[in-house]
Copies of this chain bind each other. A is one copy, B any other.
């Protein structure tokens, strides 16, 4: 509830995103979008209604489900641009991975295998592409992330949008299409049940959500992006750690015969995303993963308590898998075999919708995440 820009708690709203202005549009758009589902009937298909309001949209096309998504990177490029000025490096190989992660990590929540990624690179002018080092880093990073996810890079758009995108900047997004095959892999709807375990997959840092806050915080740091968050690790470099790509884990789980009952990509709204499923469940967390140095640093310097920090940032957990209790330990092992640290963190219980993070004494009510 404070106040001066130089001290006191820095909340996400203070960092410049006003959801009160965006939300009415979102609600109108969601209502209009829902009404178009009947159009699929003319083609002999139908939507999977449970995917409305979820991270990817799913259509039943007969032999399998089709899933699709478009996702924006957000403002992480602004950090990359500042850091490039300070260090002379291009960070766009990592930025490419971040952008693909935004799309792929959402698409896999429904149980889909990502197949095709399209690139959306809208620059503020043709000259953005004239910096060959940066452009080649973006291309190389994009390809590497596609290879890591086993997707084909189908193509994309590289418009020069002077007057719309700011000069010297680029608006990055990715669309992704995949299939849920076999259909039993669908991880939406009523599979989630009391007694299920919550397995959290480690994040690599801030990923690509909370960057407005992180950039606002720089104004408070005497050394700016050069401030060390750990010995030898600058705030800027730490922020730019690329987002973990989780599709190798979900694909390995499928091969191991483990079908998550539900998944949540922990992005905006931090751990409140664990409340994403529409059902009435309590989520009890008994163990929390280690918090990466950059997130600990942000929490400390933004003077956020755990309630604010865990309700905004990923705090070490980038993706949540809700699995049958008997699959929990094996889920952890499958993730580790893919190089992703994991933890059996909690349990799903019947009861009023809420999330309790017991080790921290933090609780979120079911009304603290409004996505539908």
Contacts and interface: CB of A to CB of B under 8 A. Distances in A.
A156 interface: yes
A132 interface: yes
A361 interface: no
Nearest to A77: B164
A175 B74 CA distance: 17
A162 B69 CA distance: 23
Interface string A301-316: 0000000000000000
Contacts of A64: 61
B43 A115 contact: yes
Main SS of the interface on chain A?
mixed
B68 A126 contact: no
A46 B19 CA distance: 42
A174 B37 CA distance: 17
Nearest to A146: B36
A326 interface: no
A159 B170 CA distance: 14
* Copies of this chain in the oligomer: 2
A200 interface: no
Interface string A22-48: 101110111011011101101101010
Interface residues of A, number: 88
Contacts of A151: 36, 39
A62 B64 CA distance: 11
A165 interface: yes
A3 interface: no
Interface string A165-182: 110011101110101000
A32 B151 CA distance: 13
Interface in A127-159: 127, 129-130, 132, 135-136, 139-140, 142-143, 146-147, 149-159
A182 B222 CA distance: 63
B177 A169 contact: no
Given A29-B158, A164-B170, A175 B70 contact: yes
19 contacts: A21-B127, A21-B129, A22-B160, A24-B129, A25-B135, A28-B135, A32-B143, A39-B150, A47-B152, A56-B155, A66-B179, A69-B118, A70-B157, A70-B173, A71-B157, A72-B161, A164-B165, A171-B171, A177-B177
Interface of A: 16-19, 21-22, 24-26, 28-30, 32-33, 35-37, 39-40, 42-43, 45, 47, 52, 56-57, 59, 61-64, 66, 68-72, 74-75, 77-78, 113, 115-116, 118-120, 122, 125-127, 129-130, 132, 135-136, 139-140, 142-143, 146-147, 149-166, 169-171, 173-175, 177, 179
